[in-house]
């Protein structure tokens, strides 16, 4: 009896110990971009809130644009009334086609007063699917206009984006050169190297105004020091959304700092 009790007590101690340990072992976290299930028979009314969710989430649109009550855009077009504007932008182009082109081929028409630099959101790293883009169009049309797009609308750009699983594999922890890293994570969409203004400061002459340590800090912790005249959170939101911080290796980061310091 005494022995049985001892074994029983020992079992409890062991179980409590493992339970305690399990509290301290970090749970393995995987955060794939949430894919939203999009049925092909959605009504327009059902498409709008899904489009809104994509705009705020996977689409990373609010990193750059203000829309409705969302976003902190500064050097980017305000999309508050885009549903009304879209039909007027390009003579002969419908609002649906204009909005689609803005996403699949953003440089085809550059809004006056702005700098080209919107990424093609159908391609990695953002990689919206054709179905997701239809719902985003419905949401954009609803901002000041009347949604007419449906899940059956066909657009000339559909099917051109690489399938999600055919997207080029990212060499995680790899040895990509600085220029590759600079374009892969869309640094070039916000920063020019030739002095032109963009969504972020030009990096021309960076080596003369910042030390390597400051450049390193500016990349690793962009919200710590904010360049004058720019908005906090734009760069960090984009780099978090495209998994820069998870994927970049130490040696790649080093190469990137060397590259920018040489400007
Ligand atoms: C990295 C910043 C950035 C991101 C992210 C971005 N855009 Fe843009 N967008 C721009 C810039 C810069 C312009 C203006 C230049 C141009 O017309 O290409 C623009 C223009 C537009 C226009 C045309 C506006 C007009 O007044 O005619 C639309 C529509 C648009 N974006 C929608 C979107 C949507 C939807 C998303 C998300 C799926 C998105 N953008 C993500 C930077 C961005
Ligand atoms: C969506 C736009 C955007 C993207 C993408 C982006 N940045 Fe920035 N970046 C900014 C903005 C805005 C600032 C100014 C605000 C601040 O200092 O955080 C900035 C600041 C900087 C600075 C400091 C410049 C100075 O003059 O103080 C460096 C260096 C920099 N970015 C490098 C990068 C690199 C490298 C990448 C890619 C890995 C990148 N950025 C991606 C918008 C962006």
CA distance 65 to 95: 18
Q: Dihedral through CA 150, CA 77, CA 231, CA 252, nearest 10?
A: 70
Q: Which residues line ligand 1 (CB under 6 A)?
A: 55, 59-61, 63-65, 76-77, 79, 82, 85, 89, 99, 102-103, 106-107, 110-111, 114-119, 121, 136, 140, 189-190, 199
pLDDT surpassing 70 at residue 11: no
Gap between the Cα atoms of 65 and 55, Å rounded: 10
Between the CA of 164 and the centroid of ligand 1 the distance, in Å, is 22
Q: Measured from the CA of 60, which atom of ligand 1 is nearest? A: 5
pLDDT at residue 202 tops 90 = yes
Task: Tell whether the model's pLDDT for residue 98 goes beyond 70.
Answer: yes
- Provide the token pair at 117: 């630099």
Mean per-residue pLDDT of the chain: 81
Residue nearest to atom 16 of ligand 1 (CA): 110
Which has the higher per-residue pLDDT, 99 or 20? 99
Confidence of residue 24 (pLDDT cuts 50, 70, 90): very low
Distance 222 CA to ligand 2 centre (A): 7
pLDDT digits (tens, 9 = 90+) for 37-71: 789 999 999 999 999 999 988 888 887 788 766 65
Measuring CA to CA, which residue among 118, 106, 120, 125 is closest to residue 164? 125
**Percent of the chain scored above 70 by pLDDT?**
78
Q: For residue 51, what pLDDT is reported?
A: 96
* Distant-in-sequence, close-in-space partners of 75: CB < 8 Å, separation ≥ 6: 114, 115, 197, 198, 199
Residue pLDDT, tens place only, 142-197: 999 999 999 999 999 998 765 444 444 455 567 899 999 999 898 998 899 998 87
Owner of token pair 């040489």: 262
- Please state the rounded mean pLDDT for residues 239-244: 85
Average the pLDDT over each of 22-26, 115-119, 130-134, 149-153 and give the range with the smallest value: 22-26
Which stretch, 78-87, 163-172, 219-228, has highest mean pLDDT? 78-87
pLDDT at 35 over 70: no
Q: How far is the CA of 30 from the centre of ligand 2 (A)?
A: 27
pLDDT at 63: 75
Q: Is residue 206 over pLDDT 80?
A: yes
125 against 61, higher pLDDT: 61
Ligand 1 pocket mutation pick from 59, 102, 130 by most atoms within 8 angstroms of CB: 102
Q: What is the mean pLDDT of residues 191-214?
A: 90
122 close to ligand 2 (CB < 6 Angstrom): no
User: Are the beta carbons of 80 and 143 closer than 8 angstroms?
Assistant: yes
Which pLDDT band, with edges at 50, 70 and 90, does 82 fall under? very high
For residue 7, the CA-to-ligand 2 centroid distance in Å is: 62
Q: Does residue 257 carry a pLDDT above 70? A: yes
Tell me the ligand closest to 199's alpha carbon.
2
Mean pLDDT along residues 233-262: 89
């Amino acid at each position: 009896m005494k022995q049985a009790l001892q074994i029983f007590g020992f079992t409890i101690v062991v179980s409590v110990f493992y339970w305690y340990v399990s509290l301290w072992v970090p749970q393995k976290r995987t955060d794939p971009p949430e894919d939203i299930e999009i049925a092909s028979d959605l009504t327009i009314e059902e498409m709008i809130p899904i489009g809104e969710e994509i705009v705020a989430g996977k689409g990373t649109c609010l990193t750059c644009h203000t829309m409705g009550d969302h976003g902190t855009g500064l050097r980017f077009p305000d999309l508050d009334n885009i549903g009304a504007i879209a039909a007027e932008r390009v003579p002969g182009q419908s609002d649906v086609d204009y909005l689609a082109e803005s996403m699949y081929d953003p440089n085809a028409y550059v809004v006056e007063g702005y700098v080209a630099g919107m990424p093609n959101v159908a391609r990695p790293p953002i990689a919206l699917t054709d179905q997701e883009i239809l719902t985003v169009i419905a949401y954009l049309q609803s901002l000041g206009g009347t949604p007419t797009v449906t899940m059956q609308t066909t657009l000339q750009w559909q099917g051109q984006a690489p399938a999600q699983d055919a997207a080029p594999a990212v060499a995680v922890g790899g040895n990509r050169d600085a220029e590759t890293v600079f374009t892969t994570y869309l640094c070039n969409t916000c920063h020019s190297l030739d002095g032109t203004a963009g969504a972020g400061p030009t990096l021309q002459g960076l080596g003369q105004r910042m030390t390597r340590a400051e450049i390193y800090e500016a990349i690793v912790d962009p919200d710590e020091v904010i360049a004058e005249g720019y908005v906090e959170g734009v760069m960090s939101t984009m780099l978090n959304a495209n998994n820069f911080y998870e994927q970049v290796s130490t040696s790649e980061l080093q190469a990137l700092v060397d590259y920018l310091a040489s400007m």
